[in-house]
Amino acid sequence: MDLRDNDLRDNAWNCYSSGHKFCREVCPVTAVTRNENHTPTAFHANLVAMERGHLELEDVADDYVHCTQCGACELRCPNTLMVGDFYRARTETVKVVRAMRGLMVAEGLAPEQWQIWNRLTDELKNEPVLGLDGEQPNGQGHVRDWAHGLDLPIGGETIMFVDCEAAFHRTSIPRATALILQRAGVEFGLMREQWCCGGPAAEMGYVDQARRFAEHNVADWRAMGAKRIIAIEPHDYVHFTEDYPAYFGEEFDFEVVQIVDLVAELIREGRLELTEPIEHVATYHDPCRLNKRKGIHEAPREILRAIPGLEFRDVDRVTQWAYCSGGGGGLPIAKPEITAEISRRRLEKASDLEVDMLVSACVWSERPLTAAGDEAGIEVRDIIELVAEAAGIDYGAATEGAAA
């Protein structure tokens, strides 16, 4: 990272540094640690101090591990609030954190857990979501195990991209997604050789690795004649709509569709009918990368209100700027105890609504939320699984021999 980069300098020097703690109190990590070093204000102040020679990177490297890159601080920054709508301005703390992490990687200061995780990702071509012991069915030989028995084609104009966490850990989600799309008459295929999207590496500062993975995936799409990519996971959607265009510029000419937007459209158009009641009282957890980062909050609510039998108790999207699962930005890899506490607090908020189900639309949020939900007595479900059940679709498990 070049500290003379004008965009980074502008973000740092323009930090409002509010005594009212606009960004601090909405930060899920700061809410847990109560450490001023972990605040968005500190992230900007450190950069200014480094530019002036008052700090070295090793003095503050651990600070930048304490961020989920949820984007809540950006929305609550007075700079964004006061000039964002008119000038389309937004304080970009996430970019500052990612740039500092890139410098940490370059100088060998990344946490050991990140080093192991990204080394294995580079070897396997997918994230080691089933563990770091190397004895579980990660790797390219198993990346499509979730699809056994579904007879899905390879290639086509529309490709469904399946996130590593979904492909290996929560296989019910891609199975439910594929069957929903088939029921609605959406033609799609899978990649010949799907690698990790590269986004998690980019978020942890492994910029070169992220770019290599992106180049592989785009080359695979082009070789198959793909024109549209269905992203079934919010993190992938962010990387395909922000990082990939930054890498490839105007050459990145793919349409990228988020699955909740597509499913809401299919229901709205009558191509997917929801007829089976789901008798639960539920609220919705806005995944950070859908709500805060990409402004997608209406479609999932439209879906939930279309499910028969479901009593939906909503929490408005702005209130949820302060909510997070703690499952992003490499935090659960390096600081799992903080992720666990963030999720516990999120389930506590759900308990206040007297619900028996918390619904999310992000597979990376659902692992820590499920652990917290087990303690709170609240079931955590993915919205696509609920849609499949309401449509009378048995998405079942992968056939024998597949990873489950």
CATH number for the domain spanning 38: value is 1.10.1060
pLDDT for 51 equals 86
pLDDT, greater one: 16 or 67: 67
Residue 299 and residue 209 share a domain: no
pLDDT in the model for residue 132:
85
Q: Rg (Cα) of the chain, in Å, rounded?
A: 21
pLDDT at 16: 66
- Residue 242, pLDDT > 60, answer yes
pLDDT of residue 92: 86
CATH number of 362's domain: 3.40.50
Contact assessment for residue 296 and residue 290, using Cβ atoms and an 8 Å cutoff: yes
Average pLDDT over residues 245-256: 97
Q: What is the mean pLDDT of the chain?
A: 92
User: Does 133 reside within a domain?
Assistant: no
229-255 mean pLDDT: 97
Same domain, 315 and 341: yes
**First vs last C-alpha separation in the chain:** 41
Structure confidence at residue 136 (pLDDT)? 82
Question: Are residues 277 and 235 located together in one domain of the fold?
Answer: no
Residue 68 in domain: yes
Q: Are residues 282 and 252 in the same domain?
A: no
How far lies 304's CA from each of 157, 282, 314, 386, in Å? 29, 9, 10, 9
**C-alpha of 61 from chain center:** 23
- What single-letter DSSP state applies at residue 389? H
Strands 311-312 and 379-382, bridge-based pairing: unpaired
Using the predicted structure, report yes or no on whether residue 241 has a pLDDT greater than 80: yes
| Better-scored residue on pLDDT, 205 or 136 | 205
Same domain, 211 and 277: no
Same domain, 244 and 286: no
pLDDT confidence of residue 315: 94
Share of the chain above pLDDT 90, in %: 84
If asked whether residues 306 and 244 sit together in one domain, one would say no
Q: Are 264 and 229 in contact (CB under 8 A)?
A: no
Nearest to 325 by CA among 297, 350, 300: 350
Q: Is the model's pLDDT at 263 over the cut of 50? A: yes
Angle in degrees, 0-180, between the axes of helices 172-183 and 383-390, rounded to the nearest 10: 50
Which CATH number characterizes residue 179's domain? 3.40.50.1860
pLDDT of residue 3 exceeding 70, the answer is: no
pLDDT in tens, 132-159: 887 788 899 999 999 999 999 999 999 9
pLDDT at 403: 40
Q: Where would I find the H helices in 107-146?
A: 112-124
Q: What is the pLDDT of residues 170-190, one digit of tens each?
A: 999 999 999 999 999 999 999
Can you tell me the distance from the alpha carbon of 261 to that of 247, in angstroms, rounded to the nearest whole number? 25
pLDDT tens track for 56-82 = 999 999 999 999 999 999 988 877 776
Q: Indicate the residue type of 142.
A: H
Q: Is residue 403 part of a domain?
A: no
- pLDDT-based confidence at residue 397 (cuts at 50, 70, 90): low
Note the pLDDT of residue 11. 75
- The per-residue pLDDT for range 338-372, each reduced to its tens digit, is 999 999 999 999 999 999 999 999 999 999 999 99
Please name the amino acid found at residue 212.
R
Integer CA distances (angstroms), 164 to 139, 194, 205, 277, in order:
10, 10, 19, 31
Phi first, then psi, for residue 228 (nearest 5°) are: -135, 135
- For residue 404, pLDDT over 50 is answered with no
Domain end, chosen from 92, 110, 128, is at 110
pLDDT in tens, 86-127: 556 677 899 999 999 999 999 999 999 999 999 999 999 999
Count structural domains, the chain.
Answer: 3
Report the distance separating Cα 336 and Cα 298, nearest Å. 31
Q: Looking at residue 385, what is its pLDDT? A: 97
Residue 89's domain spans which residues?
6-110
- If one compares 3 and 231, the residue with the highest pLDDT of the two is 231
Cα distance between residue 172 and residue 161, in whole Å: 15
Q: Which residues, at least 6 apart from 260, have a Cβ–Cβ distance to it below 8 Å?
A: 290, 296, 299, 300, 303, 361, 383
288 and 360 share one domain: yes
Q: What's the pLDDT at 21?
A: 75
